[in-house]
Amino acid sequence: MNRQADVIIVGSGLAALQLAHHLHSTSHVIILTKTKIRQSNSYIAQGGIAAVIDKGDSIHSHVEDTLNAGRHHHFIEEVERLADEGAAAVKELIAGGLHIDRDADGQPSLGLEGAHSAKRIIHSGGDATGRHTVEHLLATLPENVEIIEGEMAYDCLLSEDRSLCIGVKTKSKEGVISYCWAPHVVIATGGAGAVYPATSNQPTMTGDGVAIAFRAGAEIADMEFVQFHPTLLFANGAAQGLISEAVRGAGAKLIDGSGSLLMEGVHPLKDLAPRHIAAYEIYKARTKGKEVFLDIRGMEHFEKQFPTITALCKRNGVSISDGLLPVAPGSHFLMGGISVDSNGCTTIPGLYAVGEAAHSGVHGANRLASNSLLEGIVYGRRLAAFINRRLPASQLPARVFYYDSQLPAESAGGFSKEELRNRTMKAAGIIRTPENLQSHVRYLEALGVREWIESGLDELEQEAIEKIYMSINSYLISRAALLRTESRGAHIRTDFMAEEVHWRGKRVIQTKDRINIRGGQHERNPIRIHA
């Protein structure tokens, strides 16, 4: 099947929908999702949107909090633009009809989350901000936007010399291949949380967008920085879902099985310390055989304030009335991803990335709480403005690149997703050792990951393609983690436990042909290919 559009958006989360909203109404926009439109990380996001809308707050403070949480490993001008444009973009959403939680006097009810120095977290429906925001955007989606569900985008369509992206190939669960042509292709697939055994992400978050772009030849940056959320509900022997940081912002405390305060003396912000610090403390306690709990016994009206978390606990047999919620860390957010410039352009003309799949430089080594939805809102709107200036586009090239060889249908049959997740966690989880990283890289190369990167996937079913994409993401994460010989933010090496000054601002860059280190402490975003 062949389809033609002006803009193709791969993914259906907040960044994708915000982008679609702001594209010209005269353009034909296709949103592709391999599952359902409401099955995104954005939809299940419990946290809110960080934005400076209170007179007592400041853009400068938001920027400083972002830099401190991310250990000053950012493109600073991008952080400044995020905070500044974010305030205006959120106000635009509210003016457009997004209902937010308000105090009795009608003012926005602003919450506090980890590493924030002020109450600036906007919520909608308590702990269901993602769902309410996505539903708002879906309800107001323009008629020029076509949504196609149940088709997995698995490769870029490239010009014969691979210099230009001109579309994507998709595959249905039944194995039907479709060609979707467009002069503007946007990756908005989210992160790669499902590469790990315990995650707050949807189980479908297998890093598809990063793998697609990487295979096409795009530059990938900082994949070693994987954020582990400190508090996933741990019940029935496994992580069951996220307990939002807003719970700690509202007064909950982390304690161990003996009742001792876990974060006392660890960080000045205690339970609201940056996520990598809290996750590390919980990890250390659990490796010593101690249980860790969120103590909510001092909180009033918990069930009303956090209905989604209450329902999660009840489904898993955890009593809210007892006031002790068992928790463990789990993979949450990918700070690295596809290198983009300020507009969302990748290093391949015609290919763009936005949201968690992109590395825009705003999150550094550890994302500040509730900056993720903000990023989607800001960069979705900004990329739309960039693409709008280039519509309509000229005719696409007639000659297309084809792989010399196709992987056979039985490729990736020698391992299970569960095995890969466990191996990835051991090698590139919360704590990394050089021995485990080296062993895992060798394991993936022995499986055939280098061949998978360079071969066609047309003969594979969706499940096999997902396994290959998970392997590619695991490979990118592990190689980058091996190269970065320091501990910074979410990247913790047992043999290099300190932050190193000479590593500050340096990025681990990977393409199909090479892996290298680029930049320095005062580097500005170097990608300016479409300016």
Q: Is 275 one of the catalytic residues? A: yes
> What average pLDDT score do residues 187-211 get?
96
Strands 253-256 and 292-295 come out as antiparallel
> What average pLDDT score do residues 297-319 get?
94
Task: Band the pLDDT of 531: cuts 50, 70, 90.
Answer: very low
- The structure tokens listed for 161 are 């010399």
Q: What is residue 453's predicted lDDT score, i.e. its pLDDT?
A: 97
Q: What is residue 398's predicted lDDT score, i.e. its pLDDT?
A: 83
> What average pLDDT score do residues 51-64 get?
96
228, 279 in Cβ contact below 8 A?
yes
Q: What is residue 498's predicted lDDT score, i.e. its pLDDT?
A: 97
Q: What is the mean pLDDT of the chain?
A: 95
pLDDT of 437 higher than 70: yes
Task: Band the pLDDT of 47: cuts 50, 70, 90.
Answer: confident
Q: Which one, of 525, 160, 156, lies nearest residue 350 by Cα?
A: 156
Task: Band the pLDDT of 523: cuts 50, 70, 90.
Answer: low
d(C-alpha 209, C-alpha 366), whole Å? 21
**What residues does 168 pair with on adjacent strands?**
156, 180
For residue 83, what is the enclosing H or E element?
Answer: helix 76-95
Q: Could you tell me where the beta strands, DSSP code E, fall in 365-519?
A: 506-510, 515-519
Q: Secondary structure of the chain: what % helix, strand, coil (to 5)?
A: 35, 20, 45
Q: What is residue 395's predicted lDDT score, i.e. its pLDDT?
A: 81
> What average pLDDT score do residues 34-57 get?
94
Q: What is residue 226's predicted lDDT score, i.e. its pLDDT?
A: 98
The domains found in the chain, sorted by start residue, are: 232-329 (3.90.700.10)
d(C-alpha 376, C-alpha 353), whole Å? 11
pLDDT digits (tens, 9 = 90+) for 5-18: 999 999 999 999 99
d(C-alpha 482, C-alpha 440), whole Å? 10
> What average pLDDT score do residues 390-401 get?
87
Q: What percent of the chain has a predicted confidence (pLDDT) above 90?
A: 92
**What are phi and psi for residue 143, nearest 5 degrees?**
-70, -20
pTM for the full model? 0.94
pLDDT digits (tens, 9 = 90+) for 117-159: 999 999 999 989 999 999 999 999 999 999 999 999 999 999 9
Task: Band the pLDDT of 394: cuts 50, 70, 90.
Answer: confident
pLDDT digits (tens, 9 = 90+) for 403-420: 999 999 999 998 999 999
- The structure tokens listed for 43 are 């939809």
Q: What is residue 148's predicted lDDT score, i.e. its pLDDT?
A: 98
Q: What is residue 524's predicted lDDT score, i.e. its pLDDT?
A: 61
Q: What is residue 527's predicted lDDT score, i.e. its pLDDT?
A: 57
pLDDT of 79 higher than 90: yes
Q: What is residue 377's predicted lDDT score, i.e. its pLDDT?
A: 97
Q: What percent of the chain has a predicted confidence (pLDDT) above 70?
A: 98
Residue from 275, 423, 493, 507 carrying the catalytic annotation: 275
d(C-alpha 34, C-alpha 443), whole Å? 29
Q: Amino acid identity of 351?
A: L
Q: What is residue 463's predicted lDDT score, i.e. its pLDDT?
A: 95
Q: What is residue 393's predicted lDDT score, i.e. its pLDDT?
A: 75
Task: Band the pLDDT of 522: cuts 50, 70, 90.
Answer: low
Q: Could you tell me where the beta strands, DSSP code E, fall in 296-423?
A: 324-334, 337-339, 351-353, 358-359
Q: What is residue 530's predicted lDDT score, i.e. its pLDDT?
A: 42
User: What sign does the CA torsion over 16, 21, 22, 28 have?
Assistant: positive
